[in-house]
Amino acid sequence: MNDDKPTIPGDLDKREPGLTPDLAPTYREGDLIHTAPEFAIADADVLASERGDVIPGTSLWRDAWRRLLKNKLAVFGMIVVSIVAIASIFGPMIIKKTTGFAPDSIPSDAKLIKSYPPFKTPDGSFSWLHPMGTDNQGRDMLARVLQGGQISLMVGIIATLVSLLIGVTYGAVAGYLGGRIDNLMMRVVDILYSLPYIILVIVLLAMFRRNTPMGQLLLLFVALGSVSWLTMARIVRGQVLSLKNQEFVLAARATGVSTPRIIFRHIVPNTLGPVIVYATLTIPTVMLTEAFLSFLGFGVQAPLASWGTLATNGIQNIGIFPWQMVFPGVTMALTLFSLNFLGDGLRDALDPQMRKL
C-alpha cells in the first residue's frame, strides 16, 4: 500500500496503532445478519460456550461496558461530561427562570455594567447571584459559560459527525473495493495527511468570513469536519479489509446482496467499536481546534460565544478580572480532560489487545 514509506517486513507496523486486526470481532456460526449491535463475542467466550459453561448474554458490548465501569478515570470522565452536558443544555434556562439573567442580557442599571468577582455584589458584599462573577458588561458569567458549553459541545459533536460521515464512507469504500481503487484512495489520504491543514483552515476562514453567526458556524463545521476524517478513514479501511472476507460477507455476496448494501448494512456496523473510540477522541480535538480558531478571531461570532471565545475575551483583562478567563478556560479544560479519559477508557475496554492481564 505504501511503497514510498519504510516498511517492516513481516512485522507489525507499529506506526498505525489504529489497524489492530485483533479488534475484528469474531462471529458465532449462523450469525449472518447483523442489524443489532449484539453481534460479536470475544475468543474467550467462544471457548467458554464450547466448554458448555456459557456466560449468559455476554456480548462484546456488555463485556466492554463492564470493563469500562472498572476504569475509575473513565467513569470519572463519563460523570463529568454528563454533568457538563446537562448543565449546558438546561442551565441557561434555569438561571433565566430563577434569577432573570440571560447569557446576553446587559443590566439596564448603568451601575451594574461592570465586572465583579465571583459571589460578590457590585458593592463587594457576599451574594449567590453570580457564582462566577460577571463580565465587563455586567453579564452573568455562569450563564455565559453554560451557554458557551452548548456552542462548544455542539461544534465538537457536529464536526465529529461530519468527519464520521466522510471518514466511514471513504474508508469503507476503499477497504471493500480494494485493489487499485483502494491504493489510489489511500494515497490521496497519505498526501492529505502530510498537508499543513491548519494553515489551510486559517486561510479558508480568514478569506470566507461570514457576517452571520450561523453562516460562520456552518463554515466551522465544514472546515473542522473536513480535516479530521483522515484517521477515521484509515481505521475503517483497516477494519473493513479484515472483515470483508469473513463468512457472513461471503454469504451476503453469494445471495446477491448489492455492494453498497453489503458495505453499509453488513460491514460498517461491525466496525463500530473502533469508530466509537476514535469519534470520542475526535470530539475534544475538534473542540480544541475550534477554541484555537476562536482565539485567533476566526471562530464563532457574537452574539454566539463558545468557551474559546469567552476565554479569549477574558485574556485582555487577565490581570484585573482573572475570573473572566479562568472560569470558561478551566471548564473547557475539565471537559476536554474528561472526554479524553472517557475515550481512553473506551479504547481500553473495546480493544482486547490492550487489556491488562
Partner 1 sequence: MNNGNLLEVKDLRTYFNTEDGEVKAVDGISFALKRGETLGIVGESGSGKSVTNLSIIRLIPTPPGRIVSGQVLFDGTDILALKEDEVRRIRGRRIAMIFQDPMTSLNPFMKISRQLMEITQLHLGHTKREAYDHAIKMLETVGIPDARSRVDGYPHEFSGGMRQRVMIAMALSCEPELLIADEPTTALDVTIQAQILELIKTLKRATGASVILITHDLGVVAGMTDHLIVMYAGKVFEQAPTTELFALPGNPYTKGLLRSVPDPTSEQDRLYQIRGLPPDVAHLPAGCPFAPRCDRAEEICQREFPPFVQLTAEHFSLCHFANEVYEESCEEAGSRQAVSSTAHQGRP
Partner 2 sequence: MISFIIRRLLITIPTILVVITLTWGLIRLAPGNFYTGEKQIPKAIENNIREKYGLNKPWYVQYGKMMGQVVRLDFGNSLKYEGQSVNQIIGRSLPVSAAIGLSAYGLALIVGIFLGSVAALKQNSKGDYASMALAMLGISIPNFVLGPILVLVFSLSLYWFPPARWYGFPSRGAVLPILTLSALYMAYIARLTRAGMLEVLRSDYIRTARAKGLSERQVVIRHALRGGLLPVVSFTGPALAFLLTGTVVVERIFALPGLGNYFIQASLNRDEPLIIGIVAFIAITLLLMNLLVDIAYGYMDPRIRY
Contact 302, 213 (CB under 8 A): yes
Identity of the residue, 73 or 177, whose beta carbon is nearer to partner 2 in the bound complex = 73
Ramachandran region of residue 130, left (φ > 0), alpha (ψ -120 to 50) or beta? beta
Q: Is 211 exposed, middle or buried (0-12, 13-18, 19+ CB in 10 A)?
A: exposed
Cell of 189: 489520504
Residues lying near partner 2 in the complex (CB under 8 A) are found at 3-9, 11, 14-15, 73, 191, 194-196, 198-200, 202-204, 206-208, 284, 288, 291-292, 295-297, 308, 311-312, 314-315, 318-319, 322, 325-326, 329-330, 332-334, 336-337, 340-341, 344, 356
Judged by beta carbon distances under 5 to 8 A according to partner kind, the member of partner 2, partner 1, none in contact with residue 214 is none
SS3 per residue for 286-337: HHHHHHHHHHCCCCCCCCCCCHHHHHHHHHCCCCCCCHHHHHHHHHHHHHHH
Identity of the residue, 221 or 341, whose beta carbon is nearer to partner 2 in the bound complex = 341
Judged by beta carbon distances under 5 to 8 A according to partner kind, the member of partner 1, partner 2, none in contact with residue 340 is partner 2
Least separation, in Å, of the C-beta of 285 and partner 1?
30
Least separation, in Å, of the C-beta of 3 and partner 2?
8
Question: Positive or negative CA dihedral for 320, 323, 324, 329?
Answer: positive
Identity of the residue, 101 or 221, whose beta carbon is nearer to partner 2 in the bound complex = 221
Residue in 50, 179, 211, 254 binding partner 1, rule: CB under 8 A: 50
Neighbours of 193 (CB within 10 A): 11
Judged by beta carbon distances under 5 to 8 A according to partner kind, the member of partner 1, partner 2, none in contact with residue 132 is none
Judged by beta carbon distances under 5 to 8 A according to partner kind, the member of partner 2, partner 1, none in contact with residue 166 is none
> Does residue 218 interact with partner 1 by CB under 8 A?
no
Residue appearing with cell numbers 453499509: 264
SS3 per residue for 9-46: CCCCCCCCCCCCHHHCCEECCCCCCCCCCCCEECHHHH
Least separation, in Å, of the C-beta of 143 and partner 1?
45
Contact 294, 328 (CB under 8 A): no
Judged by beta carbon distances under 5 to 8 A according to partner kind, the member of partner 2, partner 1, none in contact with residue 179 is none
Phi, psi of 326 (to 5 degrees): -60, -45
Helices (H), 208-303: 213-227, 230-243, 247-254, 259-261, 272-295
- CA dist 157 and 171 (Å) reads 20
Binding residue count for partner 1, defined by CB under 8 A = 11
Judged by beta carbon distances under 5 to 8 A according to partner kind, the member of partner 2, partner 1, none in contact with residue 256 is none
Interface segment toward partner 1; rule CB under 8 A; list 34-42, 50-58, 107-115, 203-211: 50-58
From residue 18 to residue 47, the character string flagging contacts with partner 1 as x (rule: CB under 8 A) and all else as - is -----------------------------x
Identity of the residue, 213 or 322, whose beta carbon is nearer to partner 2 in the bound complex = 322
- CA dist 197 and 209 (Å) reads 18
Identity of the residue, 11 or 29, whose beta carbon is nearer to partner 1 in the bound complex = 11
> Does residue 48 interact with partner 1 by CB under 8 A?
yes
Instruction: List residues binding partner 1 (CB under 8 A).
Output: 9, 11, 47-48, 50-51, 53, 67, 355-357
